[in-house]
Amino acid sequence: MIKSPYKINKNFSKLNPFSKKNLLNIYHKLYFSRFVEEVIQNEYPNQQMKTPTHLGIGQEAISVGVCLNLKKKDAIFSHHRSHLPYISSDGSIYKLFCELLGKKNGSSGGKGGSVHLCSRSNGFYGSTAILGQAIGLAAGAGLAFKLKKKKNISVAFFGNSSLEEGLSFETLNFCSLKNIPTLFVYENNFYSTEMPNYKGDMKNFNPQKIVKGLGIKYLKVDGNNISDVFFKSKYAIDYIKKNSRPVFIEFITYRWLEHCGPYYDYALKRYYRTKKEVMYWKKFCPVASFKKFLIKKGFNKDISLLEKKINKKVNLIYKKALKSKKPILKDLQTNV
């Protein structure tokens, strides 16, 4: 059974100086991400979304905590597990739902699906299905910022399979040699599709050794604790801006659902992991643990009001997306 190297971390004390408004804003982002994913999870079996979907339920704290430290003009890239970074960068939920439903108002005109989201005005330059690409693209954006003497940074979200691509090593080396202001966000959820990382394509897979060997600053962080994610990524982003150097963070987390689709996969009897393991990791839930902290502060009423508002709003947006128009034949050749 795969266990976390961290204890269940309920320590959010570093966030104590934050105002009630700011704390509720963080919870809003966490719960909003979770609920949007749950709507997709619940609606997916109705067969109206004609796209594979890779849900990130269980991994919300990483994108929320990192994106809270970004500016609108920073540039974000991700891979197939794209919804959470898209949502955290304030990408439109209406456009997300339309994209999944293959509608014209989708973020890619309904032609890209879940793995090709885009929200340029929010700095989310795109997700791609081809592993390793987000790493290369983020380095290109970082190089552009540097050449244009802009103070912005670029960010790549990826899992461990991307680190098995040649492009990733060349890119990390390039970023180190050329002082590129890029944050590499490695979401270590322990699995690639249905294979544990330790059975992957590399002998003695050790990103820390690789990254440090290339001269890049490496941090390891509990990716299920929003406070740790927020403060460590703030430190990394300040470091990147001050030194114009890349930083690589390995966030430890866990994907609750199957690799692709809305179901728990222990129920599918494929047995690459057990129900016991998934239940163990659910105790590390990034949304529930932060909620408990806020309830202890006496914010119960604010939380239930906030949750109700989000549920109502997101459900209405989904209904609106369902009714919106499909692309017509002529649209096939636009934006290609």
Ligand X SMILES: Cc1ncc(C[n+]2csc(CCOP(=O)(O)OP(=O)(O)O)c2C)c(N)n1
Q: List residues binding ligand X (CB under 6 A).
A: 80-81, 129-131, 159-162, 165, 189, 191-193, 255, 259
CB of 255: closest distance to ligand X in angstroms?
6
Instruction: From 168, 127, 155, 140, select the one nearest 247 (Cα to Cα).
Output: 155
Instruction: Please enumerate in sequence order all residues whose Cβ is within 8 A of that of 319, keeping only pairs 6 or more positions apart, or say none.
Output: none
Nearer to ligand X, 155 or 314 (CB): 155
Nearer to ligand X, 31 or 186 (CB): 186
Nearer to ligand X, 268 or 332 (CB): 268
CB of 241: closest distance to ligand X in angstroms?
27
CB of 313: closest distance to ligand X in angstroms?
27
What is the amino acid identity at position 227?
S
Q: Read off the tokens for 212.
A: 């440090």
CB of 116: closest distance to ligand X in angstroms?
12
Its sign, for the CA torsion 277, 13, 238, 71, is positive
DSSP calls for 265-282 = GGGGT--SS-HHHHHHHH
DSSP calls for 87-119 = HHTT--HHHHHHHHTT-TTSTTTTSS-TTS--B
Nearer to ligand X, 105 or 189 (CB): 189
Residue pair 40/55 in contact (Cβ under 8 Å)? The answer is yes
CB of 219: closest distance to ligand X in angstroms?
19
Residue nearest to ligand X (CB): 159
CB of 285: closest distance to ligand X in angstroms?
18
Rounded Cα distance between 104 and 329, Å, is 11
Nearer to ligand X, 131 or 321 (CB): 131
Nearer to ligand X, 52 or 140 (CB): 52
Rounded Cα distance between 216 and 200, Å, is 23
Nearer to ligand X, 43 or 165 (CB): 165
- Supply the angle between the helices 286-296 and 60-67 in degrees, to the nearest 10: 70
CB of 32: closest distance to ligand X in angstroms?
20
Nearer to ligand X, 165 or 317 (CB): 165
Its sign, for the CA torsion 293, 6, 67, 194, is negative
CB of 244: closest distance to ligand X in angstroms?
28
Whole-number Cα distances in Å, 58 to 136, 196, 224? 26, 17, 8
Residue 118 burial class via C-beta count within 10 angstroms: exposed 0-12, middle 13-18, buried 19 and up: buried
